Structure 1
Amino acid sequence: MAVFVLDRGARPLMPCTEKRARLLLERGRARVHKVMPFTIRVVDREAEDCEFQALRVKLDPGSKTTGIALVRETVANGVAVVNLFELVHRGKQISEALMARRGHRRLRRSKLRYRAPRFLNRGNQKSGWLAPSLQHRVDTSMAWVNRLQRLAPVSAISSELVRFDMQALESPEIEGAQYQQGTLAGYEVREYLLEKWGRTCAYCGARNVPLQMDHIHPKSKNGSDRLSNLTLACQCCNQKKGALPVAVFLARKPELLKRILGQAKRPLKDAAAVNSTRWALVNALKTTGLVVETASGGKTKFNRSQFNIPKTHALDAACVGEMGGITDWQKPTLCLKAMGRGSYQRTRLDKCGCVRGYLTRSKSIQDFQTGDMVKAEVTKGKKTGSYTGQVAVRASGSFNIQTSSGLVQGVSHRYCTVVQRGDGYGYSLVAKTDAIGTPPKSRMLRIPRSTSSA
Structure 2
Amino acid sequence: MAVFVLDKRKKPLMPCSEKRARILLERGRARIHRMVPFTIRLVDRLQADSVMQEVRVGIDPGSKTTGMALVRESEAVDPGTGEILRTRTVLLLLELAHRGQQIRDRLTARRAFRRRRRGNLRHRPARFDNRAKPQGWLAPSLQHRVQTTMAWVHRLMRWAPVTGLSTMLHRFDTQALQNPEISGVEYQQGELAGYELREYLLEKWGRKCAYCDAEHTPLTIDHIHPKSRGGSDRVSNLTLACFPCNQRKGNQDMAAFLAKDPQRLARIEARRKAPLRDAAAVNSTRWELFQRLKAIGLPVETGTGGRTKWNRKRLAIPKAHALDAACVGRFDTIQHWQQSILQVQATGRGSYQRTRLTKHGFPRGYLTRHKSVFGFQTGDMVKAVVTKGKKAGTYLGRVAIRASGSFNIRTMDGLVQGVHHRFCKLVQRADGYGYLLTRIAFDKGEAGTGAACAAALSLPGLNAGVSRANG
TM-score between the two structures when normalised by the length of structure 1: 0.88
Please list, as runs of the form range in 1=range in 2, the aligned pairs for 1:55-454 lying within 5 A after superposition: 55-75=55-75, 76-121=85-130, 123-163=131-171, 188-220=196-228, 227-246=235-254, 249-250=257-258, 256-257=264-265, 259-431=267-439, 433-434=441-442, 438-443=444-449, 445-446=453-454, 448-449=457-458
Look up the SS of the partner of 1:337 in the other structure: strand
Shift in CA distance, 168/322, structure 1 to aligned 2, threshold 3 Å: closer
Compute the displacement of 1:384 (Å): 1.9
Compute the displacement of 1:372 (Å): 0.6
Compute the displacement of 1:393 (Å): 1.1
Alpha-carbon distance in 1 for matches of 2:174, 2:279: 8
Alpha-carbon distance in 2 for matches of 1:85, 1:128: 28
* Mean CA deviation greater in 287-296 or 363-372: 287-296
Deviations 1:363-387 (A, max 9, x none): 1111111111111122233222211
C-alpha contact 2:368 2:403 (8 A) present in aligned 1: yes
Compute the displacement of 1:266 (Å): 3.0
Alpha-carbon distance in 2 for matches of 1:168, 1:326: 28
Deviations 1:120-158 (A, max 9, x none): 25x322211111111111111110110001101111111
Look up the equivalent residue of 1:441 and give its one-letter code.
Answer: A
Deviations 1:46-70 (A, max 9, x none): 2222111111111111111111111
Compute the displacement of 1:228 (Å): 4.5
Look up the equivalent residue of 1:83 and give its one-letter code.
Answer: L
Alpha-carbon distance in 1 for matches of 2:58, 2:27: 34
Higher relative contact order (CA 8 A, sep 6+): 2
C-alpha contact 2:176 2:196 (8 A) present in aligned 1: no
Shift in CA distance, 56/186, structure 1 to aligned 2, threshold 3 Å: farther
Compute the displacement of 1:322 (Å): 1.6
Shift in CA distance, 106/399, structure 1 to aligned 2, threshold 3 Å: same
Deviations 1:269-310 (A, max 9, x none): 111111111111011112222111222222222222232222
Shift in CA distance, 22/354, structure 1 to aligned 2, threshold 3 Å: same
* Mean CA deviation greater in 440-449 or 97-106: 440-449
Shift in CA distance, 427/361, structure 1 to aligned 2, threshold 3 Å: same
Compute the displacement of 1:170 (Å): 7.7
Alpha-carbon distance in 1 for matches of 2:42, 2:313: 40
Compute the displacement of 1:195 (Å): 0.7
Shift in CA distance, 221/354, structure 1 to aligned 2, threshold 3 Å: farther
Deviations 1:88-117 (A, max 9, x none): 111111111111111111111111111233
Corresponding position of 1:40: 40
Shift in CA distance, 438/396, structure 1 to aligned 2, threshold 3 Å: closer
Shift in CA distance, 343/443, structure 1 to aligned 2, threshold 3 Å: farther
TM-score between the two structures when normalised by the length of structure 2: 0.85
Look up the SS of the partner of 2:208 in the other structure: coil
C-alpha contact 1:164 1:187 (8 A) present in aligned 2: no
Corresponding position of 2:468: none
C-alpha contact 1:78 1:326 (8 A) present in aligned 2: yes
> How many aligned positions are there?
437
Look up the equivalent residue of 1:232 and give its one-letter code.
Answer: L
Alpha-carbon distance in 1 for matches of 2:28, 2:458: 14
Alpha-carbon distance in 1 for matches of 2:226, 2:290: 41
* Mean CA deviation greater in 221-230 or 354-363: 221-230
Corresponding position of 1:178: none
Alpha-carbon distance in 1 for matches of 2:249, 2:102: 41
Look up the SS of the partner of 1:159 in the other structure: strand
Look up the SS of the partner of 1:287 in the other structure: helix
Shift in CA distance, 106/438, structure 1 to aligned 2, threshold 3 Å: closer
Shift in CA distance, 120/324, structure 1 to aligned 2, threshold 3 Å: same
Alpha-carbon distance in 1 for matches of 2:36, 2:57: 18
**Identity across the alignment (%):** 62
Compute the displacement of 1:247 (Å): 5.2
Structure 2, unmatched stretches of 5+, are 76-84, 182-192, 461-471
Look up the equivalent residue of 1:321 and give its one-letter code.
Answer: G
Look up the equivalent residue of 2:200 and give its one-letter code.
Answer: Y
